[in-house]
Amino acid sequence: MENLFDILKITIPALIVFFTAWVLLRNMIRNDQDKRRQELILQNSRTVTPIKLQAYERIVLFLERISLESLLVRVSSPGMTASQLHSALLNAIRSEFEHNLSQQIYMSKKAWEVVRNARSNMIKIINSEVEKMPAKATGMALSKQLLEKIMELDKEPTRAAIDYIKGEIARMI
């Protein structure tokens, strides 16, 4: 009995020390893992945030380039028919969009949806105004009709998209 008591006097303090050391080591390891995870997240954000901002910048540039005023200045030329201008406008929008298609990787799903809707709405506006034109209409007449249509709108689709993108960037920063 006395031997059992002697064994317990040695074993119980040893077990207490063992469990205390085990708990302390486990907490230290967890804290170290959390710290490393936070450092990795911070390092990733330092790398990814500039890329995301660059993608948003390119999308804003895309939206500016497909605004009707910008398109008409770049694409139209004297002597164009309405049909030729229509085709040139749609080709310009499509090529600009294809050029910036990869930017969706860095954008939120909602922001990309807004950009796609702005592009689609610009195409719809152009198509609807072309349908109203007579068959032999000039490009200048179509340009005038398109600009009048844009003036009627509260906000041009590209402008609304740019405003949304700016708001999203403000939330990011």
Would you say residue 88 lies in a domain? yes
Question: What is the pLDDT at residue 1?
Answer: 75
Would you say residue 131 lies in a domain? yes
Global pTM reads 0.76
Tokens found for residue 25: 């080591």
Would you say residue 40 lies in a domain? no
Domain that residue 142 falls in? 49-172
122-155 in b/e form (b: 16+ CB < 10 A) is bbebbeebbeebeeebbbbebbebbeebbeeeee
The tally of domains found in the chain comes to: 1
Would you say residue 163 lies in a domain? yes
Question: What is the pLDDT at residue 121?
Answer: 96
Would you say residue 32 lies in a domain? no
Question: What is the pLDDT at residue 46?
Answer: 80
Question: What is the pLDDT at residue 8?
Answer: 83
Contact 146, 126 (CB under 8 A): yes
Tokens found for residue 41: 């997240």
Question: What is the pLDDT at residue 19?
Answer: 94
CB atoms within 10 A of CB 67: 19
Would you say residue 31 lies in a domain? no
Would you say residue 18 lies in a domain? no
**pLDDT by residue, tens only, the chain of 173 residues:** 788 888 888 899 989 999 999 999 999 999 999 999 999 888 877 878 889 999 999 999 999 999 999 999 999 998 899 999 999 999 999 999 999 999 999 999 999 999 999 999 999 999 999 999 998 899 999 999 999 999 998 899 999 999 999 999 998 87
Could you tell me which residues come within 8 angstroms of residue 131 by beta carbon, excluding any fewer than 6 positions away? Answer: none
CA 5 – CA 103 distance, rounded (Å): 74
Question: What is the pLDDT at residue 60?
Answer: 96
Contact 66, 92 (CB under 8 A): yes
Place of tokens 């990733």: 44
Backbone dihedral angles phi then psi of residue 138, each to the nearest 5 degrees = -85, 160
Would you say residue 102 lies in a domain? yes
CA dihedral over 50, 56, 57, 59, signed as positive or negative:
positive
Question: What is the pLDDT at residue 48?
Answer: 80
C-alpha dist (Å) from residue 162 to 61, 108, 109, 111, 153: 9, 14, 15, 10, 16
